Structure 1
Amino acid sequence: MAKITNRSKQAETTKRKIYECGVRLIRIHGFDGVTVDQIAKEAGVSVGTYYYYFASKFELFSEIFKQADEYFLKEVKGHIKAEDFRGQITEFFEKYAEFNCLNGLEMVKKLYTSDNKMFNIKGRIMQKILEDIIENGQIKGHISTRENSTEITRIFFVVARGIVFEWCLLDGVMDLKSEMNKIIASMVEGYMLNN
């Protein structure tokens, strides 16, 4: 039994090393500027080992988005402190800004391009958490129902990604969290009902 545990720990360590090396190279060279061979060499593994853990370079890139969803599942869902819906939505996007800051400006610059279609994936955990907050607010009569929770979530993410993109354009000189709070709080008011 211990050998299986050690083996699975080693496998997880290897996968994590490949992932971290891939992310580091993508940060430096961009997605198209890195090959699987380079990632494998950087991680100190064979190309075959790379393909054992990741079916393609795109799958490694997808792992970055999976990490974002895991962060929101562990750090955001059930951990929002605000009791009112205005505060819950604003706090959700504070966490979104924090997560982008944790990834670092250079990595975020590589992710926020029109070539990155990962942003178009529907039904991600991150989106579902916000949809649930909005839907709950609609059920309780605090948030407008002129659009459904999925559409309102989409609109908020369009704006939030725009704020992050501006942070990238300005080379991180603006306070991302503060700017996110200000703009999202203003948007939230447009969806709140007077209750």
Structure 2
Amino acid sequence: MKPSSQRAIKAQQTRQLLLDTALELFDKKGFDNVTIDEIAEKCDVSKGAFYRHFNSKYDVFAVKFKDIDNFYESFYEKIHPACTVKEKIILAYQEQMKYLRDELGVDFVRTVYTSALSRTMDEKHYLVDPERRIYKLIESFLDEGLEKGEFTSAWEKEQLLHNLTRCMRATVFDWIIFQNKLDIVEEIKVLVTMIFEGIGKRENE
């Protein structure tokens, strides 16, 4: 194996170790009670090594949060072809909310959103980046729905997409506020269904 390849493998291993260790410490002690020095020390690496892989503690969360996009690669293949486009979108969102609830947890997601709101955001931020897998998936469903005539063409596609994806972010935000008082899996179904009642194609169109 070439030295450059060995260095790349070692760097990837270090990055994964830092990621796993940081998340473990966050879970045990709380995000605000963990320092970068502590993460580096537990991994037996320098503080500089941490910064070679992550810009801040918040970036550790960003990397983990993006794991949900990988989940959609397998989910898409499981959708029954007989489902309507509206059913596909609701199923996708419900599976997303189950992942957030059961795999990441409200405390983790709250920290991700707090991090996002404490910084200057643009359209490339990972919470709103249109290139994220979830957004591309919803866009593909929307295209299919418009082509099949399931949705009205009274609004521009970008308007429809923007509001459909806003349902996702709004539901997560409310979950952070109300926590156990709100069932995000059921809530996203109700909200998106109400949107569909407004954008569904009418018989006279």
TM-score (norm 1): 0.79
Q: Measure the CA separation in 2 of the matches of 1:94 and 1:88.
A: 10
Q: Is the 8 A contact 1:89 1:188 kept in 2?
A: no
Q: Is the 8 A contact 2:37 2:47 kept in 1?
A: yes
Q: Measure the CA separation in 2 of the matches of 1:156 and 1:7.
A: 44
Give the total of aligned pairs: 192
Give the 3 Å change call, closer, same or farther, for CA 109–57 of structure 1 in structure 2.
closer
Which amino acid in structure 2 is aligned with residue 109 of structure 1?
A: R
Q: Is the 8 A contact 1:141 1:193 kept in 2?
A: yes
Name the % identity: 22
RMSD of aligned Cα (Å): 3.0
CA displacement, residues 169-194 of structure 1 (integer Å, 9 cap, x when unaligned): 22333322112212222222222214
Give the 3 Å change call, closer, same or farther, for CA 5–21 of structure 1 in structure 2.
same
Paired position in structure 2 for 1:184: 192
Query: Paired residue for 2:31, among 17, 20, 29?
Result: 29
Unaligned 5+ residue runs, structure 1? none
Q: Measure the CA separation in 2 of the matches of 1:183 and 1:40.
A: 43
Which aligned pairs between 1:78-157 and structure 2 lie closer than 5 A?
78-81=77-80, 83-101=83-101, 102-113=103-114, 114-115=117-118, 117=121, 118=125, 119-157=127-165
Q: Measure the CA separation in 2 of the matches of 1:170 and 1:56.
A: 28
Which amino acid in structure 2 is aligned with residue 153 of structure 1?
A: L
Which aligned pairs between 1:7-46 and structure 2 lie closer than 5 A?
11-25=11-25, 28-30=30-32, 35-46=35-46
Unaligned 5+ residue runs, structure 2? none
1:129 positional shift:
0.7
Q: Measure the CA separation in 1 of the matches of 2:22 and 2:154.
A: 43
CA displacement, residues 5-46 of structure 1 (integer Å, 9 cap, x when unaligned): 98866654432221123334556225xx75432332343432
Which amino acid in structure 2 is aligned with residue 115 of structure 1?
A: S
1:159 positional shift:
2.2
Worse overlay, 134-143 or 21-30: 21-30
Q: Is the 8 A contact 2:58 2:112 kept in 1?
A: no
Q: Measure the CA separation in 2 of the matches of 1:179 and 1:18.
A: 35
Give the 3 Å change call, closer, same or farther, for CA 59–188 of structure 1 in structure 2.
same
Q: Measure the CA separation in 1 of the matches of 2:59 and 2:152.
A: 38
Paired position in structure 2 for 1:164: 172
- Which of the pair has more CA radius of gyration? 2
Worse overlay, 159-168 or 126-135: 159-168
Runs of 4+ in 1 over 6 A off after TM superposition: 3-9
1:71 positional shift:
2.1
Q: Measure the CA separation in 1 of the matches of 2:199 and 2:64.
A: 31
CA displacement, residues 41-62 of structure 1 (integer Å, 9 cap, x when unaligned): 3434322332343355454343
TM-score (norm 2): 0.75
Report the secondary structure of 1:126's partner residue: helix
1:94 positional shift:
0.4
